[in-house]
Amino acid sequence: MSDVPIPSPARPGAPTAKVLAVTSGKGGVGKTFVSANLAAALARRGHRVLVLDADLGLANLDVVLNLHPKTTLHDVFTGKASLQSAIITAPGGFSVLLAGSGMVEYSRLTPEVRTEFLQVLQSIIPRYDVVLLDTGAGISDVVLFAVSLASEVLLVATPEPTSLTDAYAAIKVLATQQKRQQIRMIINQTVRAGDGRAITGQLQQVLDRFVVPELGRPVRLSHLGDIPGDPAVRDAVMRRQLLLSSLPGSPAALAVSQLANKIEEAIIRRP
Ligand SMILES: Nc1ncnc2c1ncn2[C@@H]1O[C@H](COP(=O)(O)OP(=O)(O)OP(=O)(O)O)[C@@H](O)[C@H]1O
Ligand SMILES: [Mg+2]
């Protein structure tokens, strides 16, 4: 871990970062694992990537990456530290902006949190190609606000019925309140190939039947990819290492690399 300067601002008129929110209905489905490893895979492809720990009340990106930041978003928000000093380099070659756990005062969406968050994001965007927002789970106002700042939503769900019910609730809110026309699905901890595509299709059917008629416009769930359930993930988390570095040939690591390819093709390279 080391303090590094923020990359220089992009040339005037040059494209700024694509902001992708990694979110979920239910907690513990793999958002932080996906954010960290996806960031490493995209950094490996030459993109300037920053992961912002947007789970302000219960951040744990630092735990997954084994980082011990001297300054966090909390210090930036309270004016105790500069944004630059809070951005650190993670082992996977990408930048992170950590929230620090227990920021209880930030678990509610106050006007201050809104303003600070927005300012931080605006300063970061011109300096990166991709910004991943690792959000909390659910449909609280803090989570929805973080998601509202992203141009793309990556919704992580597992095949369990509880996760799917919560994913559907989150999709419904994002489609109605945020007028999202497209939500990209990542189905994690799958058992069989094809599970994720089938699940996405089923959620789309329910959405088309119950939500789309009320909205009067289509909402598209696109299946971005699956990540199989893989004991290597837990091993990497226990060792506090990136799966992509510690076990790059494991099925879950290969699936994350494929996801990165798809994101590059479908999102990053698109104007
Ligand atoms: N593909 C997988 N195979 C096996 N285990 C997995 C997989 N993905 C995630 N896990 C397990 O699930 C745990 C929770 O993952 P993670 O912390 O990324 O979830 P989260 O959605 O960020 O949780 P929270 O909602 O609390 O932020 C991991 O520590 C890991 O043990
Ligand atoms: Mg998390």
- Centre of ligand 1 to C-alpha 14, Å, is 36
User: What secondary structure does DSSP assign to 103-130, as a single string?
Assistant: -GGGSS--HHHHHHHHHHHHHHGGG-SE
Query: Looking at the predicted structure, is the pLDDT value of residue 58 above 80?
Result: no
What is the mean predicted confidence (pLDDT) over 229-258?
A: 96
The preferred substitution site among 24, 26, 32 for testing ligand 1, maximizing ligand atoms within 8 Å of CB, is 32
Query: Looking at the predicted structure, is the pLDDT value of residue 101 above 90?
Result: no
What is the mean predicted confidence (pLDDT) over 165-175?
A: 98
Backbone angles phi, psi at 242, to 5 degrees: -70, 135
Could you give the percent of the chain with pLDDT greater than 70? 92
pLDDT of residue 15: 62
Query: Ligand 1 atom closest to Cα of 55?
Result: 27
Query: Ligand 1 atom closest to Cα of 255?
Result: 1
Please give the angle made by the CA atoms of 37, 39 and 45, to the nearest 5 degrees.
110
**Per-residue confidence at 102, pLDDT binned at 50, 70, 90?**
low
Tokens of residue 204, six digits: 């789309």
Helix (H, G, I), strand (E, B) or coil at 60: coil
- Centre of ligand 1 to C-alpha 32, Å, is 7
Indicate the pTM of the whole model: 0.94
Cα torsion at 106, 166, 255, 142 (round to 10°)? -10
- Centre of ligand 1 to C-alpha 191, Å, is 15
- Centre of ligand 2 to C-alpha 23, Å, is 9
- Beta-sheet strands, E only, within 41-197: 49-54, 87-89, 95-97, 130-137, 152-157, 182-190
Q: Per mean pLDDT, which range of 105-119, 235-249, 253-267 is the poorest? A: 105-119
Query: Looking at the predicted structure, is the pLDDT value of residue 14 above 70?
Result: no
Using CA atoms, how far apart are residues 214 and 205, in angstroms rounded to an integer? 14
What is the mean predicted confidence (pLDDT) over 54-78?
A: 85
- pLDDT tens readout for residues 115-162: 999 999 999 999 999 999 999 999 999 999 999 999 999 999 999 999
pLDDT of residue 103: 64
Tokens of residue 222, six digits: 């696109």
Minimal-distance CA residue to ligand 1 atom 2: 229
Query: Ligand 1 atom closest to Cα of 60?
Result: 27
Ligand 1, CB cutoff 6 Å, lining residues? 24, 27-33, 55, 137, 188-189, 227, 229-230, 233-234, 237, 252
- Centre of ligand 1 to C-alpha 182, Å, is 24
